[in-house]
Structure 1
């Protein structure tokens, strides 16, 4: 009997197995491939938590894998933090299947250790959970979400006492505690009525929302008189069946935006995300209904948030009257320029832009032009949150944080990407430029004219299951063992291996240390201000490759970007076929 078969047998013969999981297990009992995939490994707990397909098995999201994760978190907190039981853990959840159930299961396990849980009565956005941890002075936070993954997914995302996603060091400690939990089927827990009787669960209502909205008011760059003025600029908003509806509308109302239309068919939470192929504002098809409504109402700006409201997409009209969806890099660059334009020159001396290594270099150019410093982090907003925490004691001023995948943070009262903040700021920015007689696209063209025509792209290869994971590892190993010397006609000037923690300066023939945490990622700095980066996704069964250029014109940049994309597609294709 193989190891996975032994684990399956343990589950299959467990008398008290949850009835719904028992039925699902019976449905696949004759499908060896499905059983192996469900039991061949434990669901990976990464640097932010875990995410996976719902169903029975150790490699699936279910009440037992959630209990095991919560058990590891409880033991980690008790071993490494003070006043854990009194301070408690904030728990929120989105609209996905089993989200509320997993939130309660988390509280049940925490309660067995005497740790109080603050659980929201109804679904809430991820950035509100980040805010709640800080607002309540909780020792940690848990968000039950799978962000923009397909409907069959859910996840368990952990936040530290600063309100940021847990750091790699904290994740390692939690993982070690999870490993010490030998049997996920027998993790100790209290029943919900016991939690309520012993006051180990506090149900959170709208009081935290009100506190968040008070802080949201303060991010505006508009003068007080302008804030009070009614703004009739047309806005169409879709929460894509997720959690952002109430907070975004209230945030816009606070700035007196009076002409806001919501896509009715996508306003209500729906775990199936039934009107879109993917509830991801990065995907242009997610804007189909918003665009139709925008055309009817002649809206100036369209907003789309993902299900847990930590990512924002924006579309605006071009000169032909057609809506164009801005890339994450474009919207981030526009926001940065707007924020810095309205920042006091004394503040600019300590101002810091924080972006990831795969985010546009246009951000650095904009920051430089205002005298602000740019700090690069690894991919993932947890690293941006970690930098903001360092600023609390370093005297540096956080101005803006963003990543190419539609994640933005304007003010650090939250410590994770925040689509509610970004939605309100995007509308404010569009209103400001409209008063100057410009659209956001025209404002963006001005930025390109000043700084250069930066253009970026990202391709991904989805490789599911055990074989897919092995293939992704093989691709990274192949490129690491034989690094590119040129890509799409561009010579490689530097190779950055973040797993080895070293940078190779090709022309000089020497190496230097990279002062960032270790991660399985490779970046190639090319001539003519171009670059390429390969990275396995931490949340999806994909390998992603990012690339960026800076050309003399839009056409020049598009041609360069296409050359690099074709070269990468061919290179990765050759590896997968070999």
Structure 2
């Protein structure tokens, strides 16, 4: 089917929702915009679905939402009547159309006799993960586009364990979604009738209260807040998202009293009007928090992304200027704190990280005789392993994290949890303050002990159909180019996760990679250095990850620059 055929099908649909009809009329003479909106179905992948809002099969709208919900409904029906009765819990963030999409999803599921629990107002993603387990539902859905720009929204699916769908389960749902040929014909039940029949139930603070009780377990040294927390100052920004209430309550119940919320960013705002990007990975997102931090003499600044599954932290340096920690740095500090303060580390304890996360964490875990497991990028793979180890008893989960500011300390949630991380990071900063150190000084202590690990990330955004083709061309170039060195560092091995093979450069010997197939390339270099290429699964980007190590800060900085320059030379123009 051509994009013109798909467009005509929409244009001829008499019942097309008015706002979508108006927007379709606006672009009817713009062939490039029409092609991009209709040249494919918005992909429902292993992470669910994410895209720009607007009319078209390649956009987020009530019809593509209904298509996704219909596919999930058929999947649940196939699992049996008990799954239908257990139902699905649905949460949503502050983005444009989030609540409407949540209700549309409930109406499609209800049309199949599947019960839904829908939050009365916006909630963080980790609360959705917890709610699945708390309510014993067959799964969950959160309507969110995380830290994407305002014109995006998304649809993310969770299994009965509260984790994002792993590949096998996602594949079964994807198969059902792909069987639906016409999203305009998906039937949705009447909301009022579903409410009357008990197939749509609204839920509110009951889940929050249970979650907050579990959150108490994150505090390792609750006494230090009582003993030394009186003059400890915290500045918090939810970046216009969902975390405002629960992060403040979590900190307050942990004993922190001096919590200063950035007022301009406390209210939910789908336009994220005070930031260029609502992403705590980026320094600009902390500008207002930094200004307020200087006013109150804050010991720590914490910021969460819109759906509150990522946490960023900034702390003062020796000159009183605030420095934003990287996800790798914050993860290393959290990991060391958790392991050092654990009274009786289990013999089978394990830390889980992703393949693009710093090797710093592995070295720290090894220092405490704790094993490290690598997974593919995406917290769903960490959540999947937590569930597996809970079932088998093979390992005891101690901590999971990824470089993109996702952390999980306690497994009552099965996805990255910025509410947990905010409480842990704040206690961590207070702990080191009682030792006379800032988090930057604590980090330097770890570097002196383990070596100077440094990382960087470069993202290249390439929109639309042509962008997708360019991204694939870049991956093809690096697959075909037989690199033997990069930035003066010898290439020891190439790991091609699409082929599930690891090839040693000196001997040509190949080993199997026992992880799910993914379009990822990783080049393992000498001296614990590496770089990795990965097309984003949620944005029109290709990401380049870099990691280096040496015995000094200066040498690591130089290695990082040389490595990045060498890799950029191979990029097709």
- Does the pair score TM above 0.5? yes
Q: Report Cα offsets for 1:187-244 as digits up to 9, x if no partner.
A: 0110211111111111011000000000001111015585587543000000000000
Matches within 5 A, 1:386-405: 386-395=384-393, 396-405=395-404
Displacement of 1:484: 2.0
Partner of 2:32: 33
Partner of 1:187: 186
Preserved contact between residue 348 and residue 371 of structure 1 (Cα < 8 Å)? no
Partner of 1:348: 346
* Separation in 2, partners of 1:21, 1:540: 23
* Separation in 2, partners of 1:400, 1:382: 14
Matches within 5 A, 1:199-210: 199-210=198-209
Q: How many residues align?
A: 572
Displacement of 1:394: 2.4
Preserved contact between residue 351 and residue 398 of structure 1 (Cα < 8 Å)? yes
Q: Report Cα offsets for 1:442-471 as digits up to 9, x if no partner.
A: 111110000000000110111000000011
* Separation in 1, partners of 2:218, 2:279: 26
Partner of 1:9: 8
* Separation in 1, partners of 2:526, 2:370: 25
Matches within 5 A, 1:557-572: 557-572=556-571
Partner of 1:320: 319
Q: Does 1:446 align with 2:437?
A: no
Displacement of 1:170: 1.2
Partner of 1:432: 431
SS at match of 1:349: coil
For structure 1, the residue ranges without an aligned partner over 5 or more in a row are: none
Partner of 2:463: 464
Displacement of 1:393: 1.9
Preserved contact between residue 3 and residue 40 of structure 2 (Cα < 8 Å)? yes
Matches within 5 A, 1:261-280: 261-280=260-279
Partner of 1:336: 335
Evaluate the alpha carbon distance shift between residue 81 and residue 359 of structure 1 in structure 2; reply closer, same or farther with a 3 A threshold.
Answer: farther
Q: Report Cα offsets for 1:329-366 as digits up to 9, x if no partner.
A: 00000000000011133x33111100000001010000
Partner of 1:283: 282
Query: Structure 1 residues 65-74 or 78-87, which shifts more?
Result: 78-87
Partner of 1:160: 159
Q: Report Cα offsets for 1:556-576 as digits up to 9, x if no partner.
A: 10100011111122211xx2x
Query: Structure 1 residues 233-242 or 80-89, which shifts more?
Result: 80-89
Preserved contact between residue 47 and residue 168 of structure 1 (Cα < 8 Å)? yes
Partner of 1:144: 143
SS at match of 2:22: helix
Partner of 1:486: 485
Displacement of 1:180: 1.4
Evaluate the alpha carbon distance shift between residue 267 and residue 226 of structure 1 in structure 2; reply closer, same or farther with a 3 A threshold.
Answer: closer
Preserved contact between residue 228 and residue 256 of structure 1 (Cα < 8 Å)? no
* 2:359 maps to which of 347, 358, 361: 361
Q: CA RMSD in A?
A: 1.1
Displacement of 1:148: 0.2
Matches within 5 A, 1:102-251: 102-223=101-222, 231-251=230-250
Q: Does 1:525 align with 2:528?
A: no
SS at match of 1:494: strand
TM-score by length of 1: 0.98
SS at match of 1:188: coil
* Separation in 2, partners of 1:225, 1:468: 52
Q: Report Cα offsets for 1:350-406 as digits up to 9, x if no partner.
A: 111000000010100000010111000000000000010111122211110000000
Preserved contact between residue 348 and residue 370 of structure 1 (Cα < 8 Å)? no
* Separation in 1, partners of 2:482, 2:126: 39
* Separation in 2, partners of 1:335, 1:419: 13
* Separation in 1, partners of 2:440, 2:131: 35
Matches within 5 A, 1:19-30: 19-30=18-29
SS at match of 2:214: helix
* Separation in 2, partners of 1:438, 1:405: 25
Preserved contact between residue 229 and residue 256 of structure 1 (Cα < 8 Å)? no
Displacement of 1:181: 1.3
* Separation in 2, partners of 1:551, 1:225: 35
Query: Structure 1 residues 24-33 or 223-232, which shifts more?
Result: 223-232
TM-score by length of 2: 0.98
* Separation in 2, partners of 1:225, 1:436: 11
Preserved contact between residue 225 and residue 427 of structure 2 (Cα < 8 Å)? no
SS at match of 1:493: strand
Partner of 1:385: 383
Q: Report Cα offsets for 1:246-265 as digits up to 9, x if no partner.
A: 00000000011011100000
Preserved contact between residue 225 and residue 256 of structure 2 (Cα < 8 Å)? no
Preserved contact between residue 225 and residue 430 of structure 2 (Cα < 8 Å)? no
* Separation in 1, partners of 2:84, 2:515: 34
Preserved contact between residue 352 and residue 374 of structure 2 (Cα < 8 Å)? yes
Evaluate the alpha carbon distance shift between residue 48 and residue 19 of structure 1 in structure 2; reply closer, same or farther with a 3 A threshold.
Answer: same
* Separation in 2, partners of 1:228, 1:91: 41
Evaluate the alpha carbon distance shift between residue 541 and residue 225 of structure 1 in structure 2; reply closer, same or farther with a 3 A threshold.
Answer: closer
* Separation in 1, partners of 2:436, 2:392: 40
Evaluate the alpha carbon distance shift between residue 62 and residue 155 of structure 1 in structure 2; reply closer, same or farther with a 3 A threshold.
Answer: same
* Separation in 2, partners of 1:318, 1:176: 52
Evaluate the alpha carbon distance shift between residue 447 and residue 234 of structure 1 in structure 2; reply closer, same or farther with a 3 A threshold.
Answer: same
Query: Structure 1 residues 165-174 or 413-422, which shifts more?
Result: 165-174
